Amino acid sequence: MSDVLTYAIILAAGRGERMLANKNKMLLEIGGNSLLELCLTRFQENECIDHIFAVVASEDILPDNQSEIEQKDKLEEKYPKLASLVAGGKTRQDSVYNGLEAVKKHAADYCGRVLVLIHDGARCFVPSAVLESVTDALKTERCAVVAAVPVTDTIRQISDCRLEDLQVPREHLWQMQTPQAADLDILLHAFAHADQEGFLATDDIALLLRIGYPVRVVRGDRRNIKLTTPDDFEMARLLYETEYFKE
Ligand code: CTP
Ligand code: MG
């Protein structure tokens, strides 16, 4: 498989509004490391990944009086696979697009297949088995790949806090996680198409489905949670004390 280069784009340029932390949640720390660093560690340590781009908001990586260059050097030293930091955009979709453009430049002289795993930095505990399943599926089939888990709760529709008499059958319902991944050229095409149509989505698979590209689901993991609210963070802190997130 020497003709394949695998990139990860780690998204950390959101505002974390639902976390109510008065700062980007990716800067919150668990066990002395920021969520961004916890996530970078997962990708750094995984053999499937060749290069990483982290998409960040520039105001977030300039704490205290460190210069941008110092901060960038520090991270790149700690995480040798980190090719560079990339400035985020207004929406998640814009941030991914900026990451894809950075990958495109970095891989410009490469002749083999370029695979890209797009990952929510807020899923900072992604197990390595999930990264492996996604990359393995991507290498063996010409399709996009998404990690997902089956819904386990009973799902009903509500309207204005009242239950409607509608129970959504659970068998076919899965929760989408990240990584969401595909070949670079396919992703660039899907994003350009979405841009032309003014189509905005909360994940990348929606854009691939929109161009009719096949998407395969691989098993994600319940530990691959997206830290979104203060409850999620509190739970993650408690679980981190146990061995829950270790594989
Ligand atoms: N993200 C990003 N650029 C944006 C918006 C989101 O890189 N313009 C990233 C976030 O940092 C996060 C991931 O996309 O890792 C998933 O988004 P979400 O969980 O919604 O994070 P936030 O947008 O930061 O949170 P909120 O929606 O509560 O403000
Ligand atoms: Mg958001």
Backbone angles phi, psi at 227, to 5 degrees: -75, 110
DSSP 205-241: HHHHHHTT--EEEEE--TT-----SHHHHHHHHHHHH
Q: What is the pLDDT of residue 64?
A: 53
Q: How far apart are CA 207 and CA 200, in angstroms?
A: 8
pLDDT per residue, tens digit, the chain (247 aa), is 459 999 999 999 999 999 999 999 999 999 999 999 999 999 999 999 999 999 998 777 655 555 566 677 788 899 999 999 999 999 999 999 999 999 999 999 999 999 999 999 999 999 999 999 999 999 998 999 999 999 999 988 888 888 887 888 888 899 999 999 999 999 999 999 999 999 999 999 999 999 999 999 999 999 999 999 999 999 999 999 999 998 7
Mutational pocket test of ligand 1: of 10, 11, 17, 93, the residue with most ligand atoms within 8 Å of the beta carbon: 11
Which ligand sits nearest to residue 176's alpha carbon? 1
Question: Residue 33 is which amino acid?
Answer: N
- Give 104's contacts (C-beta < 8 A, 6+ positions apart): 184, 188
Q: Kindly write down the DSSP assignment for every residue of 50-99, as one continuous string.
A: -EEEEEE-GGGG--TT--HHHHHHHHHHH-TTEEEEEE--SSHHHHHHHH
Which ligand sits closest to the CA of 88?
1
- pLDDT at residue 89, as a whole number: 95
pLDDT digits (tens, 9 = 90+) for 18-32: 999 999 999 999 999
Short-list 220, 228, 85, CA closest to 151: 220
- pLDDT score, position 70: 66
Question: What are 242's strand-pairing partners?
Answer: none
pLDDT value of position 167: 83
Q: What is the pLDDT of residue 2?
A: 57
| Tens-place pLDDT, residues 111-129 | 999 999 999 999 999 999 9
Pocket of ligand 1 (CB under 6 A): 11-18, 26, 55, 88-92, 95, 120-122, 226, 228
Instruction: Give the Å distance between the CA of 176 and the centre of ligand 1.
Output: 15
With the most atoms of ligand 1 within 8 angstroms of its CB, the residue from 17, 20, 92, 125 to mutate is 92
Tokens 């453009």, residue? 101
